[in-house]
Every structure is written in structure tokens, then in C-alpha cells.
Structure 1
Amino acid sequence: MSSDFIRTEQHGRVITLTLNRPDERNAIGSHADCEALVAAVQRAGAAPDVAAIILTGAGSAFCAGGNLKAMRERDAATGIGPLHSPLTTRNNYQRGIQRIPRALWDCEVPLIAAINGAAIGAGLDLGLMCDIRLVAQGAKLASSFIKVGIVPGDGGAWLLPRAVGWSKAAEMMFTGEALSADQALACGLVSQVLPPEQLMDHARALAERIAVNPPQTLRLVKRLLRESQHARLDDVLQLSAAFQALAHETADHHEALAAFIDKRTPVFTGK
């Protein structure tokens, strides 16, 4: 299923979600855009056989962030930014764009961002919500909210320091200046820089390497990684024991053991 803003394709256990408004550089401009992305991620996460999700953009940009024209118009019906008072603006962010980081953070399927072009402001934050980031050579990445006199309204202040450390995050947010793909790689913002024509092939190949593994156990591993970012070691050990108890009872675990002993390739079913 696809919407005007999100194109959805599935091949085997891998789903690709494409931001599909290239004429607007895939900017997020309305509550309908937020809903389309949230719904697409939730549908993919609810499918028990899905083992990896790729998020990318159509055209020359990954995502140019928020739609600045929509912000200026302050349209209460569709706009995701400022409205007529600080209170209504606060509520507008919470019911709109802030649903996106919550949905992506709650998604237990491994997420790969294939950053095909500019990732600016909320567009960079969208990439940061994914687990693995690949970027095309020539792409620019910026936490540029300060350049238009606002702060990250979608969780970027929480996400960026966890990716690049406090000092680099502060530099990026205080200056609003863009990084090249190579600079993003050097500071750990992305995993790999690839020629533009190879980006999607590499993202799909990586997704397939992930998807050969038991899909339900992949979700447990991702949840464990997520929780480990802010939990005490003892809490992580307790959660690990509970998740391990679940994993040991899955059919895929029993299949993995049998295939190892029989020296054959396992066939996982997601059960």
C-alpha cells in the first residue's frame, strides 16, 4: 500500500519506504504527511515476516525537513508548525511531527536510512531515527534549525548527540552548517559513503543480509539495543535474560540449531 507521500514496496522480507514528493524535495509539510509515514512504518512493523525496512527519498533529496512555506502560512487545518498561539503550536507539534520519532523509535524492525541526497533539519533527524545510515556521495546533512530561528522540534536534540557525541552535535546545532558525506562518515553520523548509483543496491544487499536471520529475534535484539542506551547494566541483564528465555522457545531457534548440526542452510518462518 502507498500514499501520495509514501511509496511502499516489498521484496521478500524487506520493505522499502520512499518519501515520494521530489518536486518539494520530500519536505514534510502537513499532518497528512506525518500520518502517512507513521502508518507506513506501523504497518511494516506489524507484519511478522518483515525483517528489515529501508527508508529513502525520491529524486535528488532524502528529505529537506519541514515545509517552510507551510510554516509561514500557519494553516491550522494542515500545517505542522506554528499556529496562532504558543499553546496551540505546542499541541500541533505533539500531534503532528512528533508522532514520527515515536513511531520509528517504537518500530522493532531494523531500519536502514538510504540517504540519497540532502538531509536537512527534520530530514536529518529522520535519518537519525533509523538504526543504520548509508549516504550517497555528494549529499549534504545539516541540523540547520538555527538558520531559520527555531529549535529541533522533533527530537533532534536527543538523537544527534547519541550519534556523533556532544561536542560535534553542539557544533552542528549551534552553527547550522552542513556536513559533506565524507565529513558525516568521519564523525560517525553515517556508516558508509557510496556512489549515488550504488546506494540503493547496497542498501538492499545490507537489508537482505539482515533479513536472512530470524525476524522475531531480530526485533528482540533491536529492542535490547534501544533499551541499553538509557538503562543501567543490571536492568539490561534482567531484560536480556527475559528476551533470551523467549528466543529459546521460538521455532526459528530450534531450526537454527538443527540446521547447524545437519550442516545445512536454516529456513526461518518468523515463529
Structure 2
Amino acid sequence: MSTPFVRYERNGAIVTLTMDRAESRNAIATHQDCADLVAAVQRAQDDASVSCVILTGAGSAFSAGGNLKAMKERNGIGPLDAPDATRANYRRGVQPIAQALWNCEVPMIAAINGHAIGLGLDLACLCDIRIVAEGSKLASSFIKMGIVPGDGGAWILPRAVGLSKASEMILTGDTITAAEALACGLVSQVLPADQLLAAANALAERIVCNPAKALRLSKRLLREGQQQRLSDVLELSAAFQALAHETRDHAEAVDAFLEKRSPVFTGK
């Protein structure tokens, strides 16, 4: 039996998910690869004691995206023997990954340790915060292969960089550098490769020191705010705030502030 596509590692309230196919630059080739990634995200989501997830890749790449060899042989997660079968293949393969990442309520950091191409870039864009190693290359390169973003990239990328930049990246398929990714807001930090994971963990620690329930509610508001009207988000905010006010961690935060001490949160 082959090892799972994703390595799941827990350190306190932080989970690191590592795409673990360094020999293929973490390309996603099979339905089992897709299922492994969905299951790992769901495992973190279902664990109320997890407050941050770091997504990264083994070896020198974050993810090269889809597997071109499997695509050519029509036996992977891409084209099959007829258009109807191909359509169904996308709907049961890569698209559940996009849904799992988007719907996950745990804050997620993409630690882009190398090239993030096609599907690989879209995986990173589905995370809340993206940091990248120097020397990395990023591209929405589907058009270069004569195809479109079948993983929802035409919806995902504009939410990361805006419609104009996303259109430029998708319609040209051009590769951008880490510095260019920083300049257009695709990532928030560029770091030496040997400092990337340490920086991701330090950032995660700054997140998980906050109340766990409020973190998940805040992330959900951020997600809804990208697709709902202001009036809808205001209603949801009032409802979430009503829940947050009843948590023990909120009471502890107020007491600690008034007593001029550090709070001790329990996730309750």
C-alpha cells in the first residue's frame, strides 16, 4: 500500500499538512490523492482543538498541479474517454478539494516552499494567508496546455489578486516570481527557503493564542464577506457575535483585560 498523499502532523493547536510526493513535485495524479487531501482537511476541521493549519509541500515544490503523464494517458483525474466522463471526473476529483479547502473553518496558511503551478497555485489561493520561499515560481498555466482551470480557479484566483491581475495570469498563463507575487498581493511575505516553515509556525502561533471558537467564526465571516451583500454579512455578524459573547473565552478575555493580566483561553 502506498503512503498517503498528505502527511498529517500535529503540534499543539497547529496541524501541518504536507503534500508528500516530492519525486513528482507533489503533482496530484489520482483520485486517492484527492481523497487524501480532502480527508486531511476534514480531519482538522472536525477537531475542535485545532486552531490553525499549515499547508506545504515536500521537497523543492509546493505542487506542480495536475499530472501531465496521467492526463496524456487519460487514466487520472483529468480527461477520460468521452467529454461526459471527463466532466464527471473533475466533479468527483479535484473539485471536492476546492470545496473542502474553501469550507474549512480553521484558519489556513499556505507555506509555498517552491513552485505552485496550475492546480497547485489554486490550492494555495484557497488558504487564508500565503507566504512564499524566495526563488519560487507561481502560475495559473492551464491555458498553456490548451485547457481551462477545471478546479474553480476562475473563481478562486480573482479573490486573491483581483479580477484584472487574475485575468492577466489566467489568459496569459505567465509565470510570476515570488517578488511579483508579493507586489500583487498574492502572498504576504517572501522568505529564504530555510526560514519558511519556521515563519509559518510563528505566524500560526500568533493565530492560535486567540480564542478557538472566535477564530473559526471570524474566518467564516471573512469567507462569507467575499460573496454576500453587506446586509447579509451584517446579519450573520450579529448572529456570530451573539454566540461569541456567550463563550468562556470571551469572559476570560474581558476579565484579563480589566485585571491587567494575560488571558488563559480554554477553547470553551
TM superposition score normalised by structure 2: 0.98
* Whole-angstrom distance in 1 between the partners of 2:265 and 2:72: 51
Q: Which of 250, 263, 266 is the matching residue for 1:266?
A: 263
Match of residue 72 from structure 1: 72
Shift of 1:46: 0.8
Shift of 1:4: 2.3
| Paired AA for residue 236 in structure 1 | V
Question: What SS class does the counterpart of residue 132 from structure 2 fall into?
Answer: strand
| Paired AA for residue 58 in structure 1 | A
Asked if structure 2 preserves the Cα contact closer than 8 Å seen for 1:3 and 1:36, the reply is no
Shift of 1:192: 0.7
Q: Deviations over 1:230-253 (max 9, x none)?
A: 111111111010000000011111
* Whole-angstrom distance in 1 between the partners of 2:166 and 2:234: 30
| Paired AA for residue 117 in structure 2 | I
Instruction: Establish whether residue 178 from structure 1 lines up as the match of residue 169 from structure 2.
Output: no
Match of residue 254 from structure 2: 257
Match of residue 26 from structure 2: 26
* Whole-angstrom distance in 2 between the partners of 1:4 and 1:164: 32
Match of residue 229 from structure 1: 226
Q: CA RMSD in A?
A: 1.1
Runs (4 or more) in structure 1 with deviation over 4 Å come to none
* Whole-angstrom distance in 2 between the partners of 1:3 and 1:104: 22
Deviates more, 1:119-128 or 1:66-75: 66-75
* Whole-angstrom distance in 2 between the partners of 1:230 and 1:146: 26
Question: What SS class does the counterpart of residue 98 from structure 1 fall into?
Answer: helix
Q: Matches of residues 66-215 of structure 1 in structure 2 within 5 Å? A: 66-75=66-75, 79-215=76-212
Match of residue 45 from structure 1: 45
Shift of 1:15: 0.3
* Whole-angstrom distance in 2 between the partners of 1:124 and 1:114: 12
Q: What count of residue pairs does the alignment treat as equivalent?
A: 267
* Whole-angstrom distance in 1 between the partners of 2:166 and 2:222: 21
Question: What SS class does the counterpart of residue 18 from structure 1 fall into?
Answer: strand
Asked if structure 2 preserves the Cα contact closer than 8 Å seen for 1:29 and 1:67, the reply is yes
* Whole-angstrom distance in 1 between the partners of 2:245 and 2:31: 42
Match of residue 214 from structure 2: 217
* Whole-angstrom distance in 2 between the partners of 1:24 and 1:46: 30
Instruction: Establish whether residue 12 from structure 1 lines up as the match of residue 12 from structure 2.
Output: yes
Q: 1:3 to 1:129 in 2, by over 3 A?
A: farther
Shift of 1:262: 2.1
TM superposition score normalised by structure 1: 0.97
* Whole-angstrom distance in 2 between the partners of 1:158 and 1:110: 20
* Whole-angstrom distance in 2 between the partners of 1:166 and 1:105: 19
Structure 1 stretches of 5 or more lacking a match?
none
* Whole-angstrom distance in 2 between the partners of 1:269 and 1:34: 34
| Paired AA for residue 28 in structure 2 | I
Q: Which of 233, 244, 248 is the matching residue for 1:247?
A: 244
* Whole-angstrom distance in 1 between the partners of 2:187 and 2:69: 29
Question: What SS class does the counterpart of residue 10 from structure 1 fall into?
Answer: strand
* Whole-angstrom distance in 2 between the partners of 1:261 and 1:3: 51
* Whole-angstrom distance in 1 between the partners of 2:175 and 2:162: 17
| Paired AA for residue 206 in structure 1 | L
Shift of 1:3: 4.8
* Whole-angstrom distance in 2 between the partners of 1:165 and 1:150: 22
* Whole-angstrom distance in 1 between the partners of 2:165 and 2:255: 47
Deviates more, 1:38-47 or 1:3-12: 3-12
Asked if structure 2 preserves the Cα contact closer than 8 Å seen for 1:135 and 1:192, the reply is yes
Asked if structure 2 preserves the Cα contact closer than 8 Å seen for 1:49 and 1:269, the reply is no
Structure 2 stretches of 5 or more lacking a match?
none
